[in-house]
Structures are given as structure tokens and as C-alpha cells.
Structure 1
């Protein structure tokens, strides 16, 4: 599979390249990213033929949207696809400090969860202004779910349902202001719930269907295949642990996760395959999955991601991983 191969989402007509660029890194996730490096990363992705870019107001407390817009807005708008997210309003706050929520140098805005009708519409408009663009192609509801919100989940879920958040998404889609809607989440269960409430075009699922974990195979991915809810894989390295940075779910990886990663790496090494290449290619074999969006904080990382994505992998790797109990027997694997 080629990184710059185009795929069209059946429900919306939105076109994505199989490999896209996630925008958290240029927002300064874990470590600072200069404006020059961020622009070079976006331009490097463009030079590789990548035409799908994802961002969010939360990334760098609006920094990622500003940087992505600055790097892309002079390109022909019809030649690329942008997704961003709603669910947090970013309000001015001079007390924001470096390191807040893992952002190395966030801008002086504080996130406030709000999934109501008016808040979704406002978030969308705010994103357009930060990007400096007339429209985004895909709007995802960001970070909803029981794991994210704990005891407050019922409150925020009600904002999306009876509070009109889903209705706002549907209105934006029906009016043509966005082409596709969905969720951008780290939880599989809430996507299944949302599919009963709203007609989703696609979902950005971060970290829940990867080489490290495949619990989302059922019921989520099975339901998505039936209903046409296309899956974009975010966090293919599980926040970085599969790429060697020791992070899992945006925190230090526990010992059990590190040990499993070491076992995965050992099997990959037997076949002469970088663990990162296997991690990027594995989820693409599922029929519900249309694209994968690892991040990149500079041009070298974007080039490396593309090389891993396209690297030939011996067919024997996948059955070896299954035989070792490291990959679910039910999981589709890439064709040789």
C-alpha cells in the first residue's frame, strides 16, 4: 500500500490519502516544536504526496490549528482534506503554564468541555478562524466517553444527545458546511453507543486498534464494516510506546505494556522488520480502516513514517505474531 494512495469515503465522498499527518506533534505534544519545524513537517508531508491532515483545538491549546492553517492555506483548497474536532471550547487564560496537559508550550487558552448544540457550532467557527479557511472537510466530536469523563460521562453524553450536540453536527453536514462527521476518541465502546444516536460517516479511533491491542475488533469494527462508518487510525504507536518513546495512553507505559512491546519487537526483529513499520501497516488490513495518521514534529519524522508505511514485510511475520499470542487470531493481516 502506498502512502499517497487516495481513498474515497463511500458515505461522504471525502478523499483521504492512506497515510495522513496527525497534528498533535506540531502542537508540542511531549516536547516543544518550533514554528519552522512545524511548517517543514507539513511541507514535507505535502512533498510525499500526503493530502490528509488532522488537528484539534486542544492540540497545543489551539497552536496546532494555527500552524496547520498557516502552512496549508496558500495551497489550492480542493487538493487536501482537513479534519478538526469539537467538544472543548478554548477560553483565554493567562495562567496557562508550559507542560499543561502534556503540551510543551501551549498558547494561553484553557479547554472547557462543552458538547451542547451551541458549543459545537461555536467550536467549528473558532476552528475556521484559527485555520484561516472557509471550511473543514470532517468534524469529529473530541474525547467523549466513560474513560475520559468518569463519573461526569452521563452529563456530557446528555449534552451530545438531548443537549443537541449530535444535532449540531448533523446540521453542519446537511447544510454543507462540513462534508463528514464522526467521533475522534480513544475509546471503542462510546463509538458503538454513538452509532445508535447519530449517522456517523467516519471515526478517528486513537490507540484502540493497533499492533499492541485489538479489543476493538468486536463489536466496534464489525459494526463499522456493516454500517459504513469508516475508521481512521490515530495513535498507531499507542501514544509512542511502539515507536520507542515509552509513552502509553499519554502517560509512562506500565511494565506489562513495555514487556508486551518487547515481545512484539523481538518477533519483528526475527523477520528483519522495524516494529514501527509493522505498527503502521497492521491496522490497515481491516476492511473498516481507510487511513492512518501518525504524527510528525519535523520533516525527518514524516519521511520516516512514509518509509515504514511502505516497507515490504515478509508474509510470515503476521502468523508468527499470532502464534506467539501477540495478535488476535481474528484480526485481518496485510497481504504480501
Structure 2
């Protein structure tokens, strides 16, 4: 994968590098990161040619946006692409708290997929970022709010796009069923599919990816390590933000063994596998340190023989 190659999102003027940096980890995912390390992480990505950055109000309850913005607002705005998300407002007494964020903050998220809510969310994100626009807006995890998101949130984002205040409209989710229905509305330029087209889970390949390809909707593949298990499979590995079932650990170890037979680290195969599908535009990889950014770039750039994918399929380890 040429990590610094830029490619278009749908029919928009937005372009992203093949490898993007997911910035949930610098919000203190699982353990504290701190301001200095967060800044160094974003700077390292910039140094290595990554020009697509993804944040969200949820990540660290605002920390990811403020920390990313502290670096990016000093870069030439036309030189990079930024996405953030809508659907949660940060408020005192918010009830959507998640225990995975390790650094204390005063505000907590509350769901709001109304038209006014997503417009307010975007405005507040820009304040935290210290920027005047984002390039892509993802409606974030509207699992239990499909009707409102389709009727209110998406039209509000389309209006922002038509006004030139954003470049593209997207939805980001950890499941495919609703993403398929959102794509069918005809309002999307892209989808962010987290964890659903990976070495362990190719469920997006059945219907979502072919549909997106046929309609010209770009697919951003995130969660390629399935929360960690595909970076380093072991009995206490994390899968989809919880402890990985033993059967999945065993499967990940079997995949790793095939990768090793080709001299390919599992991490490299995990990052590059989504790009084997023509519907996938880019891959987002999260990082919490400059070392992790450098490793992601190295793994994404490594040459992988096509025989590796063939052997995984022959072994029944890939669909």
C-alpha cells in the first residue's frame, strides 16, 4: 500500500491518504496519554506523510478533538483532510459515559441525532479543534436512532455540504445492517465501517461493500485490529472493546501462523487486508504514540504476496 497516495471520497472534492490516523487513542483510550504524547503522535503522522485524520466528540469526551486541533491548526489547511462525527453532544451530566476513557473531563456525551443537534455538535467540534471546517462528517453510531438519523441528521449534513461548510456526508458504525440502509438513502458520500471487514470478520463483504461500489460510495475501513486481537493475539486480547472469546483468539493465532509462513507480520496483513477489496478507499489505524504511528506506516507499506491471501482462504480462515 502506498500510504501517502491520495484518493477521492465518492464524487466529492475530498481526498484522503490511503492510510489515515484514527485519533480515539490520544483521547486516553484505556490508559492516559497526556498532552505531550498526543501532540507527538499527530506530529509523527504528519512527518510520515499521513494527511487524513479522524476524531470525534466521544473520543476522550472532547480530548481527541482539542489535542488534534492543537497540532493541525498550525498546518496548511488545504494540505490535509479532517473528519469528525455528530450524534453526541458533550454536556454536564451526560449519560452516555464510557469506562474506556482513562483521563477525567467535566463533560459527558448525550445522544442527539436531531437536525439542530448535529449542527450544534459540528459547531462545538470546530470550537474544540480551533478550525473553521471539517472535510467529512460521520453520523456516529446511530444504532438505536436509525429513523431520526435518516430523517433529520443526514438531511442536515447534506445541507451543510450544499452550503460548502463540509465536503462530504458519511455514517460510521460497527455493524453493517444499518449502514446498508443508510447507503440506500442516496445521501452518503462514504461510510466508515469499523471492524466489519477484517481478517476476523468479513461481514461487510457480503452486501455492504458491493452496494457501496455500485453506488460510488467510498468505504473507509476502521477497526482493522478488531480492538487489538489482530495486533497481538493472546488469551487476554480485546475484541470489539471486550475480552476476546477463546475461539477467536485461536483463529487469530492460526491466521498469524499462516502470515509467519510468508514472513509477514500479522499487523501488516491486518492493515492491508481491507484494501484487497475494490470498494475500500482507505484504512484508518488508531495510534497513541509516535512509535505506534511509525509501526502502522511500516506495516502498511510492507510488500505482501498474493499467495498469503490464497493460503488463508485455502485454510478456511478467510471467506
TM-score category of the 2 structures, normalised to the smaller one: over 0.9
1:287 and 2:278 matched: yes
Instruction: Count residues in correspondence.
Output: 316
What CA distance in whole angstroms lies between the structure 1 residues aligned with 2:277 and 2:113?
31
Tell me the TM-score normalised to structure 2 length. Answer: 0.96
Point out where structure 1 has 5 or more consecutive residues left out of the alignment. Answer: 146-152, 329-336
Q: Determine which of 131, 137, 154 is the counterpart of 2:129.
A: 131
1:150 corresponding residue in structure 2: none
Counterpart mapping for 1:81-160 below 5 A: 81-93=81-93, 100-145=98-143, 153=144, 156-160=145-149
Task: Give the secondary structure class of the aligned counterpart of 1:107.
Answer: coil
Counterpart mapping for 1:148-297 below 5 A: 153=144, 156-162=145-151, 164-244=152-232, 246-297=237-288
- Does the CA contact (< 8 Å) of 1:95 and 1:108 recur in 2? no
Give the Å deviation of 1:252.
Answer: 1.0
1:307 corresponding residue in structure 2: 298
What CA distance in whole angstroms lies between the structure 2 residues aligned with 1:269 and 1:161?
45
Tell me the TM-score normalised to structure 1 length. Answer: 0.91
Give the Å deviation of 1:184.
Answer: 1.0
What CA distance in whole angstroms lies between the structure 2 residues aligned with 1:95 and 1:136?
26
Task: Give the secondary structure class of the aligned counterpart of 1:53.
Answer: strand
What do residues 2-47 of structure 1 show as CA deviations (whole Å, max 9, x unaligned)? Answer: 1111112241111101011001110111111111111001000000
Give the Å deviation of 1:197.
Answer: 2.4
- Does the CA contact (< 8 Å) of 1:27 and 1:106 recur in 2? no
- Does the CA contact (< 8 Å) of 2:238 and 2:244 recur in 1? yes
- Does the CA contact (< 8 Å) of 1:114 and 1:159 recur in 2? no
Change (3 A) 1:182 1:140: same
2:56 corresponding residue in structure 1: 56
Change (3 A) 1:166 1:315: closer
1:17 and 2:17 matched: yes
Change (3 A) 1:114 1:18: same
What do residues 131-163 of structure 1 show as CA deviations (whole Å, max 9, x unaligned)? Answer: 000000000000122xxxxxxx2xx2222234x
RMSD: 1.6
What CA distance in whole angstroms lies between the structure 2 residues aligned with 1:253 and 1:160?
31
2:45 corresponding residue in structure 1: 45
1:31 corresponding residue in structure 2: 31
What do residues 231-252 of structure 1 show as CA deviations (whole Å, max 9, x unaligned)? Answer: 1111110111101271111111
Give the Å deviation of 1:220.
Answer: 0.5
